[in-house]
Structure 1
Amino acid sequence: MLKLVIANKLYSSWSLRPWLVLSAFNIPFEEVLIPLRTPESRGLVLEYSPSGKVPALIDGDVDGDVTVWESLAIIEYLAEKFPELAIWPRDVKARAHARSISNEMHAGFQAIRQGCPMHLGARFATPPLTEAMRACIDRIEDIWSEARNRFAGSQPFLYGAFSAADAMYAPVVTRFDTYQIPVREATRAYMDAVLAHPAFEAWRAAALVEPWRIPEYSDGHTPVESFI
């Protein structure tokens, strides 16, 4: 049985990504949730992940177990383990593009990540957008537009059907929504598709009933609506 170690669903963008892939593709797994920022957090995570960070995937179906950490590495492992599932797009050009933009997400866009942390429990007024944040927003919108125009056809996700690339960008979708970032009409349509995906709706429903709160995730932002 696969075991996925994650943190608070309200805040943990890195945990969301592989969880969405597992859920969207109906891959059975056991969830282990370790709350962030408690005195015990790091020690508990180190029992599963050598990096001391989440997410981590433990594959108990392999002799001696296999441990994989980092969201994108976990997704790649799942794609290899379940080749019958179109976790990455089947088309070679689309797959190359999807992997490229997913790695770009994994490595970049720090300004929007830091300025607008993932927070599913509230909606905030749009913060002042720095030049670096605007550059991130513009690049992300261009990525989504190119992928959908080239590969999606009439379907709602980046490459038509939901894929690993959509999972990698899902936390950014939530940030744009939570902080009411002004976006293009086509961007909003894509965001709405991700937010309405059953796997994401299940994640959010669980997030909203969690007992843990981290006030620092709201620091510097003006709440206009609360869901918790």
Structure 2
Amino acid sequence: MKLLIGNKCYSSWSLRAWLLMRAAGIAFTEELVPLDTPDFKETVFAAAPGSGGTVPVLVDGGIAVWETLAIVEYLHERFPESGIWPRDPAARAHARAAANEMHAGFTALRGACPMNLGKRFGPRDRGPGVARDVERLAALWGQARERFGAGGPFLYGAFCAADAMFAPVVTRLDTYGIAVDPLSRDYMQAVLAHPAFREWLTAALAEPAIVAQDEVDEPALVDLRKS
């Protein structure tokens, strides 16, 4: 299996697929396709004809899968014992609904706070839309933890696809100093401490490339890539 990904410092969707596969112990190689370069889409189209020309793309022999949730479901079918989704039917249904909500929603937070693992920013008012997204995240995470999280520190106990889907949002809340409730903070710390995420982060901070469109126009408290 091969996974095409974008720059690790910025590519939130790449992080989701990569993190899930690494956490589940699924063997794969990775191919970095630099974002914001002239041959980006050409490279992606060559691996996945008919796709939207975005990353991640999973290539498994003659099969190419694009779109992160499609990759998640392909991996679930391919490796049914790997814990991609919770075993309990109620937890699995809730996890799938939460992951789909993440895929389609939280647009204010995602727009105002692009994923940038290389910097940390000071707290500030980022608008009512971001505040509503954070409130919804707290409610959704709290419900998952209360109903299904007894077996571990993640949303449904053990790390699963829903946690991978929310991982970039976790980094945004942390990077931009956004205040959250204690339960959400504990969950965030579990994700940020996961060995697979730490591996991704180490590689992200070592990347030399700067993608201008994912750099917000405000001074950073810390540039981790220079520390």
TM range (shorter): over 0.9
Partner in structure 2 of residue 156 of structure 1: 153
Partner in structure 2 of residue 20 of structure 1: 19
1:15/1:54 contact within 8 Å kept: yes
Whole-angstrom CA distance in 1 between matches of 2:68 and 2:124: 28
2:6/2:14 contact within 8 Å kept: yes
**3-state SS of the aligned residue for 1:208?**
helix
Partner in structure 2 of residue 57 of structure 1: 58
Q: Does 1:124 align with 2:121?
A: yes
Whole-angstrom CA distance in 2 between matches of 1:30 and 1:92: 32
Opposite residue 57 of structure 1, the aligned amino acid is: L
2:114/2:216 contact within 8 Å kept: no
User: What is the Cα deviation at residue 221 of structure 1?
Assistant: 2.5
Whole-angstrom CA distance in 2 between matches of 1:46 and 1:127: 40
1:127/1:221 contact within 8 Å kept: no
Opposite residue 55 of structure 2, the aligned amino acid is: V
Structure 1 counterpart of 2:102, from 101, 105, 109? 105
Partner in structure 2 of residue 211 of structure 1: 208
Opposite residue 59 of structure 1, the aligned amino acid is: D
Partner in structure 2 of residue 32 of structure 1: 31
2:25/2:82 contact within 8 Å kept: no
Whole-angstrom CA distance in 1 between matches of 2:30 and 2:180: 34
Opposite residue 92 of structure 2, the aligned amino acid is: R
**3-state SS of the aligned residue for 1:47?**
helix
Q: Does 1:177 align with 2:183?
A: no
Whole-angstrom CA distance in 2 between matches of 1:68 and 1:179: 32
Whole-angstrom CA distance in 2 between matches of 1:44 and 1:143: 37
Whole-angstrom CA distance in 1 between matches of 2:124 and 2:110: 13
Partner in structure 1 of residue 144 of structure 2: 147
1:54/1:69 contact within 8 Å kept: yes
Mapping of 1:83-102 within 5 angstroms? 83-102=80-99
RMSD (CA atoms): 1.0
Q: Could you list the runs of 5+ residues in structure 1 that have no partner in the other structure?
A: none
1:155/1:161 contact within 8 Å kept: yes
Whole-angstrom CA distance in 1 between matches of 2:190 and 2:71: 24
Q: Does 1:71 align with 2:68?
A: yes
Whole-angstrom CA distance in 2 between matches of 1:143 and 1:222: 31
Q: Could you list the runs of 5+ residues in structure 2 that have no partner in the other structure?
A: none
2:113/2:216 contact within 8 Å kept: no
Aligned length: 223
Q: Does 1:135 align with 2:132?
A: yes
State the TM-score, normalizing by the size of structure 2. 0.96
1:125/1:221 contact within 8 Å kept: no
Whole-angstrom CA distance in 2 between matches of 1:141 and 1:189: 11
State the TM-score, normalizing by the size of structure 1. 0.95
Whole-angstrom CA distance in 2 between matches of 1:94 and 1:154: 12
Whole-angstrom CA distance in 2 between matches of 1:159 and 1:71: 20
Partner in structure 1 of residue 189 of structure 2: 192
Greater shift in the superposed pair: 84-93 or 43-52: 43-52
User: What is the Cα deviation at residue 51 of structure 1?
Assistant: 1.1
Identical columns (%): 52
1:122/1:178 contact within 8 Å kept: yes
Q: Does 1:41 align with 2:40?
A: yes
